[in-house]
Chains A and B, each alone.
Chain A
C-alpha cells in the first residue's frame, strides 16, 4: 500500500506539469493584451513595447513556457501579479484557508446529508419517503448555485436577518456559502446513493443474508452498505472537484476573498501568472483528493485491496523465482 501511495504521489509531478503546460498554452493563445490593461489607453507605443519586453511577453512560446515551468517547479515561485505586483504565493496562502474551509464543509454536508437521504430513499422505494427524497434531490440538481445563493441571502439575511449577506468574519459568514455550494452535491450524492443501494439490496448475497434470518439493520449496515459505498466513493471524488469549481461562483456572490474570487478577477484582467497558478494549485488539490479516493477504495473494497496485496505477493514470487 505504501508503495502504491508513493507511486501515486510521484505521478503528481507529471500530472501537474501537464496541467501547467496546457494552461500556459491556453493563456498564451487567448487574445487580449495584459500590457494594454496595465497601462491603459493613454500609453505610447514605446512604453507599451518596453513593458512587453520587461514582462518577457515578446519572447517565443517555448522560451516563456520553459521559464514558467522552471519558476514554478524548480524554484517553487509563482511570481507576482502583472497588474498589482503583489506576490502570488503570499496572496494564495492568505486566501487558501477560506476556500478550503468552504470546500471541506460543503463536502461534509454533501456526505452527511446526501448518503443517508439516498439510502433512505432506496429502502423506502416507490413510497412516499422515496418520492419526497427524490423531489428534493431533483430540486437540488436543477437549481443553479448562484441563484440558490441569492435566494438564501434574501431569506436568511434580508427577511430573517439571521445571517450576514456577504463578507468574512466568524463562522456565521460561511453558513450560506457552504449550503449554496453543497446543495447540488447533496442532491447528486442522494441520487447516486439511492441507485447503488437499490442495486445492492437486490443482490443474491443480501437475499441470502435475509434468508439466514439476520435483522434488517444487520443486513443493511453489514452487507448492503459496504458494497453500495464503492460507487458512492467514486462519485464523492468528482463531487469534491465540483465543489472546488463551484467556489469560483460562490466566493464572488458572497464576496469571500478566496482563491476562486482571485482567479475570476485575474481572468478578467488577463493576469496570466495568477490564472496559471490558481489552476495548477487546484489541479494539485484535485490529484490529492483522487489519491485519497483510491486509498478509500482499497479499504472499502476487499477486491481492490487484494489487488494491491496480490501485486505485492506476485512481486515476491518473482523475486523468489529469480533467486
Chain B
C-alpha cells in the first residue's frame, strides 16, 4: 500500500518534471545562433575603434547571400495606410524604409529632397516644388504632380499634420506643384513638406483596404511579410527609381537587403531578445536594461552601444487658471520650481539616462542658446531655503492639497514621486493622480483636473516652435490660452515674435524663454538621452528628425562607406 502511494506521488512529480523537461527537446527555430557566449565580436569602447575589427556577420546573411538586420520595436504600426493621421512610433519604424515625402530634414533643419528635385520660395506664402520625373512605386506606377496634389488633398481632409495650413495646392504641370500656405512661420514649410506620405492615387485606390496591410510606396524597400503585432519584413527593391546612389539623401540608403522588425512590447523582453541573439538592435532601451550590455565602461563583447542626445524633454506645467492655487501667485510658482534638484530627478527616475534641463527644450535644438549652459545661468537651481521663503511669502496654507497629474509611464510616475517628496520638504502637500495616456491627454485640457502636470515633449525643429505649440493662444480653444491656462498678452507677443521668420533670432527666442522663466508657468526638468544597443554588426546608427532610428540607413559591417 505504502509503496503504491509512493509510486503515485512519484508519478505526479514526474508529470511536472516532464512538462518542464519536455522543453529541452525543442530546437530553436528561426534563431541562427542564440547563445550569447557564441556571439563573435570584440569589446568596442567607441565606434572609431570598430573600423579595424573583423566581425563575423555570417549569422546576418541568408542562404541566398542577402544581408539582413533584425530590429526590436515596441509597437506595431497598426496600419500601413499612408494617409491616416496617426504618427505612432510603430508606424514611423515600419513606414520609414518604404514611404517617401517631398522633403525631409536633419536635426539642423537642413532640407533634403526625397521626391522633390528642387524647391523655391516665391513669396512669404508661395512655394514651387519640382519632383523627379522618374518616380515609380513598387507596383511600377509612375508618380506625377497630380498624385502629390491628391495626397495633400486627402491629408487636408483628414487633418493630418500641418496640412491645415495649406490655402491651395495645384499641379502646374506633370512635375511642378505650387503650394500657397496661410501662415508664415519659421517651420511651416518644413512641417508641410516632410510629414505627408506620398503615394500614387492608382495604387491607393486599387488597394482593397487603403494599403492597411498591402502598402505600395515609392521608397527603397517593399513590404514582404506582415504579421500584426508580431513581425514586419521589408526587402530592398530591385527597381528603386533613384538608381544613382549619389543622389540619395540620408533617409534613402538601403544598407541591408532585408530588415525584420520584431514587435516586442515588454521592455525587459526587448533586452532579452537582444541578449539571446534573436534581434540585432533596439533603439530607446531604458537605462536599466541597457546597463546589462555593459562590462564596466565598455560594451560587452559582441555588442555596441550608442548614446544619442534627443529633443525629448520632461516638462512641468503649473496651472495658472482660477481653479488652481497658482493663479496670481508668482511666489508659490517660483517656490515649487526652486524646491527640487533636477540632477536628482535625472539620477533617480532615469538612472543617468537624462541630464538636467536648462531651458524649456533640449540643447540639441538649433536655436538653443549657449548662455543657458553657463553655470551662472539660474534656471531655478535647487535652493530649498529660497523655496521655503517664497512659500511663506505666497500665503499658501498646507491644508490645500496640490494635485500632481502624470501619465502611466513608469519613469514619469517616478518623477512625480520624487517631486512630491521635495515639495514635502517645503511643507507643500501634494497628491499624485496617474492616468493612462489617452485620459491624461484629455485631462490636460481641463483646468479642474490638475495643479502640476508632469508631461513629456519634444521638437523636431526649433525650441521656438515647441514653445509656439505649447503657449501660442491662437492654437488653443477660447479660454484655455495655453498649456498653463495663463492669460498673458506679453507672453503671446513674445511667442509670435520668436516664430515669425522676419524676427526669429537669438534675441527673440532668448526673450521668450527668459519671460517664461520669470513667470514660472512651466519648466523643463530633464533632457532624455536615448540608448541604442546593437550587436557588433552595427557600426553606426542614423536617426530621423523625429527622432527615430532609421535601420535601413544605419551602417553595418558589410557596408563600405
| Chain A, range 14-45, C-beta contacts under 8 Å to B | 31-33, 36-45
A150-B84 contact, Cβ under 8 Å, with A117-B12, A124-B5, A162-B23? no
Q: Is B439 an interface residue (CB 8 A)?
A: yes
A162-B477 contact, Cβ under 8 Å, with A47-B159, A120-B12, A216-B4? no
Instruction: Say which one of B43-51, B75-83, B126-134, B498-506 lies at the interface with A.
Output: B75-83
Contact in complex: A216, B1 (CB < 8 Å): yes
A171-B15 contact, Cβ under 8 Å, with A38-B84, A158-B276, A164-B31? no
A86-B23 contact, Cβ under 8 Å, with A129-B9, A158-B272, A269-B438? no
Q: Is B488 an interface residue (CB 8 A)?
A: no
Contact in complex: B442, A85 (CB < 8 Å): no
> In whole angstroms, how far apart are the Cα atoms of A91 and B34 in the complex?
31
Contact in complex: A86, B27 (CB < 8 Å): no
Contact in complex: A172, B27 (CB < 8 Å): yes
Q: Return chain A residues, CB-CB under 8 Å to B23.
A: 156, 162-163, 175-176, 179
> In whole angstroms, how far apart are the Cα atoms of A248 and B209 in the complex?
27
* Smallest Cβ-Cβ distance to A37: which chain B residue: B438
Q: Is B246 an interface residue (CB 8 A)?
A: no
> In whole angstroms, how far apart are the Cα atoms of A166 and B227 in the complex?
14
Q: Is A191 an interface residue (CB 8 A)?
A: no
Contact in complex: B230, A255 (CB < 8 Å): yes
* Smallest Cβ-Cβ distance to B445: which chain A residue: A36
Q: Return chain B residues, CB-CB under 8 Å to A176.
A: 23
The range of chain B's interface size is 35 or more
> In whole angstroms, how far apart are the Cα atoms of A31 and B433 in the complex?
15
> In whole angstroms, how far apart are the Cα atoms of A268 and B409 in the complex?
13
Q: Is B487 an interface residue (CB 8 A)?
A: no
**How many Å from the CB of B509 to the closest CB on chain A?**
22
Q: Return chain A residues, CB-CB under 8 Å to B395.
A: none
Q: Is A123 an interface residue (CB 8 A)?
A: yes
Contact in complex: A123, B78 (CB < 8 Å): no
CB < 8 Å neighbour of A45 from B228, B276, B443, B477: B477
> In whole angstroms, how far apart are the Cα atoms of A179 and B20 in the complex?
8
CB < 8 Å neighbour of A42 from B4, B81, B164, B278: B164
CB < 8 Å neighbour of A166 from B5, B15, B278, B443: B278
Contact in complex: B86, A85 (CB < 8 Å): no
Q: Return chain B residues, CB-CB under 8 Å to A42.
A: 159-162, 164
A171-B26 contact, Cβ under 8 Å, with A40-B86, A120-B9, A153-B272? yes
A85-B212 contact, Cβ under 8 Å, with A136-B16, A165-B273, A255-B269? yes
| Chain B, range 17-51, C-beta contacts under 8 Å to A | 19-20, 22-24, 26-31, 34-36
Q: Return chain B residues, CB-CB under 8 Å to A172.
A: 26-29
Residue among A87, A133, A157, A254 with most chain B CB within 10 A: A157
Count of residues in A whose CB is under 8 Å from the partner chain? 75
A70-104 near B? 1/0 per residue, CB < 8 Å: 00000000000101111100010011000000000
> In whole angstroms, how far apart are the Cα atoms of A269 and B4 in the complex?
57
A214-228 near B? 1/0 per residue, CB < 8 Å: 001100000000000
Contact in complex: B212, A86 (CB < 8 Å): yes
Q: Return chain A residues, CB-CB under 8 Å to B469.
A: 41
Q: Is A113 an interface residue (CB 8 A)?
A: yes
**How many Å from the CB of A160 to the closest CB on chain B?**
8
**How many Å from the CB of A105 to the closest CB on chain B?**
11
> In whole angstroms, how far apart are the Cα atoms of A98 and B172 in the complex?
53
A252-263 near B? 1/0 per residue, CB < 8 Å: 111111000110
CB < 8 Å neighbour of A265 from B22, B76, B437: B76
Q: Is A168 an interface residue (CB 8 A)?
A: yes
Q: Return chain A residues, CB-CB under 8 Å to B291.
A: none
* Smallest Cβ-Cβ distance to A44: which chain B residue: B164
A116-B11 contact, Cβ under 8 Å, with A85-B79, A172-B27, A255-B269? yes
Q: Return chain A residues, CB-CB under 8 Å to B4.
A: 216-217
> In whole angstroms, how far apart are the Cα atoms of A83 and B159 in the complex?
14
Residue among A41, A86, A256 with most chain B CB within 10 A: A86
A31-B31 contact, Cβ under 8 Å, with A113-B16, A166-B269, A168-B227? no
Q: Return chain A residues, CB-CB under 8 Å to B209.
A: 85-87
Q: Return chain B residues, CB-CB under 8 Å to A170.
A: 26, 29
> In whole angstroms, how far apart are the Cα atoms of A153 and B23 in the complex?
12
Apart from the given pairs A38-B86, A86-B228, 15 other A-B contacts in the complex at a CB distance below 8 Å: A32-B442, A37-B86, A48-B159, A116-B12, A120-B5, A124-B9, A136-B16, A161-B276, A163-B23, A164-B31, A165-B273, A171-B26, A255-B269, A256-B230, A268-B438
29 chain-A/chain-B pairs, Cβ below 8 angstroms: A32-B439, A32-B442, A36-B442, A37-B438, A43-B159, A43-B164, A51-B159, A81-B78, A84-B79, A84-B212, A85-B212, A86-B78, A86-B79, A120-B12, A124-B5, A133-B9, A161-B28, A162-B23, A163-B26, A164-B29, A164-B34, A164-B278, A165-B269, A167-B262, A168-B230, A173-B29, A216-B1, A216-B4, A269-B438
